[in-house]
A and B are shown apart, each in its own frame.
Chain A
Amino acid sequence: MSELERSLEQWRRTLAGSPGLTADAIAELESHLREEVQRLLETGVEPERAVALAVEKLGTPQALAREFTKVAPEPIAPWWPMRVVVGAAALLALLLVALLIARCLNGSMEVLLAVHVGAVTIGYSLSFVAAVLALCYIVQRTVRDLLPEQTRGLARGLYILTWIAAATTGVGVLLGAVWAQEHLGRWWGWDAKETGGAIVLGWDVLMVLFLRRRAGKEEDAILLGLVGSVFVCLAWFGAALFGTHSYGEHGFLLGMVILAHGAIYLVGRAQTRRLWGRRA
């Protein structure tokens, strides 16, 4: 290894582990350093001196770490209810996957249907998770305001959740169409379940687009998470109310779930408006 490479290796070691400095950022800084060292070498400076000068011009590791920490993405889940809700959702998703795999292995469910059910269930559930987080947010604000970075972290978390929800629902709807072609002889029939799936998918895509442009509108974005769960309720349980699927006999119970959900939503909206009005 040349003297120059040894010096650069030592410089890399001083940066490794610095907060805010990712491997990509260090690689980019090293690329810059090499350009500057090359320029200095061309002017006749000795290699070791060239590295020292270039490093000095680039900034000390402490100063670099400080600046990069300022722009490092905020943690996705800095607010404890978010950790709890997302953790619980991940656990339930794992249990669902394990259950579906078990059913596939004992032959009581075909793989295509299992993946469709799993994807749709996880996609819909994530939209519910967004709604639960929005409700937690409203409840929390009745006691104490969140820190701005917590609100931003929550909106960012909702964006990621909604993105995953859109992707998994999309895969689920697509596989559902394939299954329908194989078993019913048609890709799409606009029955209650299919229409519900299309509505949820459409809503998730709209949410992703909105959340991408959420700058300064985190609170609006969080509240929209509540609206999404109304669509999921209708899509998931609407089929039961219309009696078009096997769980139709639970229609009354599910109808009550929707009504209860609507009531919570309306109370949440009113509460949020009151709080925002008070803050303004």
Chain B
Amino acid sequence: MIADMKLTKDLVAASAVPLVLSILEEGESYGYAIIQRVRALSGGAIEWTDGMLYPVLHRLEEQGFITSRWQESEAGRKRKYYALKMAGRKALRTQKEQWQLVHATLGKLWGVQHVRTGTVS
């Protein structure tokens, strides 16, 4: 069952950058909201240790892919918002191409195997 499945640590780590960049492509956001969004989209399958997202965000900022600013929310809470920069959009395009390539390759391999073993529904 997909709902019960948890991704391996390696896969969670590898997918962090494309996930963060893709969420920021939708509009600026902050760490807590990004984690909630990933959790909701993956149905809980992608479970980040909360504090591990921030080093990823800082590295992306250091690389010039995203930018950040502190802003006070309507409730008076200070949040650090992140937004995608042009270089980040470019990096995201590259990430998309690479992940789609992996997806297509695995799809071809597993599609063939499923036909052979008669498991294709």
B-contacting residues of A (Cβ < 8 Å)?
A: 25, 27-29, 31-32, 34-36, 57-59, 63-64, 67-68, 70-71, 73, 212, 215
- Report the separation of the CA atoms of residues A25 and B50 in the bound assembly, to the nearest whole angstrom: 13
- Report the separation of the CA atoms of residues A128 and B70 in the bound assembly, to the nearest whole angstrom: 39
With contact pairs A29-B54, A31-B78, A32-B32 given, residues A63 and B49 touching in the complex (Cβ less than 8 Å): yes
Q: Is B59's CB under 8 angstroms from A71's CB?
A: yes
- Report the separation of the CA atoms of residues A195 and B52 in the bound assembly, to the nearest whole angstrom: 52
For the residues of A in contact with B, the DSSP-based class is helix
- Report the separation of the CA atoms of residues A73 and B32 in the bound assembly, to the nearest whole angstrom: 24
Q: Is A68's CB under 8 angstroms from B49's CB?
A: no
Residues from chain B with Cβ under 8 Å of A25 in the complex: 54, 58
Q: Is A58's CB under 8 angstroms from B51's CB?
A: yes
Give the number of residues in B that approach A within 8 Å (Cβ atoms). Answer: 19
With contact pairs A68-B58, A71-B55 given, residues A32 and B49 touching in the complex (Cβ less than 8 Å): no
Q: Is B51's CB under 8 angstroms from A67's CB?
A: yes
Q: Is B55's CB under 8 angstroms from A70's CB?
A: yes
Q: Is A29's CB under 8 angstroms from B78's CB?
A: no
- Whether B103 is near chain A, meaning CB under 8 Å from some CB there, is no
- Report the separation of the CA atoms of residues A259 and B58 in the bound assembly, to the nearest whole angstrom: 46
- Whether B93 is near chain A, meaning CB under 8 Å from some CB there, is no
With contact pairs A36-B32, A71-B62, A212-B64 given, residues A59 and B77 touching in the complex (Cβ less than 8 Å): no
- Report the separation of the CA atoms of residues A29 and B52 in the bound assembly, to the nearest whole angstrom: 10
- Report the separation of the CA atoms of residues A36 and B77 in the bound assembly, to the nearest whole angstrom: 12
Q: Is B50's CB under 8 angstroms from A32's CB?
A: yes
- Report the separation of the CA atoms of residues A70 and B58 in the bound assembly, to the nearest whole angstrom: 10
Among B50, B63, B64, point to the contact of A59 (Cβ < 8 A): B50
Residues from chain B with Cβ under 8 Å of A67 in the complex: 51-52, 54-55
Q: Is A31's CB under 8 angstroms from B51's CB?
A: no
- Whether B96 is near chain A, meaning CB under 8 Å from some CB there, is no
- Report the separation of the CA atoms of residues A27 and B78 in the bound assembly, to the nearest whole angstrom: 9
- Whether B79 is near chain A, meaning CB under 8 Å from some CB there, is yes
With contact pairs A35-B32, A71-B62, A73-B62 given, residues A28 and B55 touching in the complex (Cβ less than 8 Å): no
- Interface contacts beyond A25-B58, A32-B31, A36-B32: sample of 4 additional A-B pairs, CB < 8 Å, sorted by A: A34-B77, A57-B50, A64-B51, A67-B51
CB distance from B108 to the nearest CB of A (A): 31
- Report the separation of the CA atoms of residues A29 and B54 in the bound assembly, to the nearest whole angstrom: 8
Which 9 pairs show the lowest CB-CB distances between chains A and B?
Answer: A59-B51, A35-B32, A71-B59, A58-B51, A67-B55, A71-B55, A58-B50, A64-B51, A28-B80
CB distance from B80 to the nearest CB of A (A): 5
- Report the separation of the CA atoms of residues A265 and B3 in the bound assembly, to the nearest whole angstrom: 64
- Report the separation of the CA atoms of residues A57 and B51 in the bound assembly, to the nearest whole angstrom: 8
Q: Is A31's CB under 8 angstroms from B80's CB?
A: yes
Chain A residue nearest in CB terms to B50? A58
Chain B residue nearest in CB terms to A61? B51
Residues from chain B with Cβ under 8 Å of A68 in the complex: 54-55, 58
- Report the separation of the CA atoms of residues A36 and B64 in the bound assembly, to the nearest whole angstrom: 29
Residues from chain A with Cβ under 8 Å of B54 in the complex: 25, 28-29, 32, 67-68
Residues from chain A with Cβ under 8 Å of B62 in the complex: 71, 73
- Report the separation of the CA atoms of residues A31 and B63 in the bound assembly, to the nearest whole angstrom: 23
Q: Is B79's CB under 8 angstroms from A31's CB?
A: yes
A-B contact pairs, 18 of them (CB 8 A): A27-B78, A27-B80, A31-B32, A31-B77, A31-B80, A32-B31, A34-B77, A35-B32, A57-B49, A58-B51, A59-B51, A67-B52, A67-B55, A68-B54, A68-B58, A71-B56, A73-B62, A212-B64
Q: Which of B51, B52, B64, B78 has the most CB of A within 10 A?
A: B51
- Report the separation of the CA atoms of residues A25 and B63 in the bound assembly, to the nearest whole angstrom: 17
CB distance from B79 to the nearest CB of A (A): 6
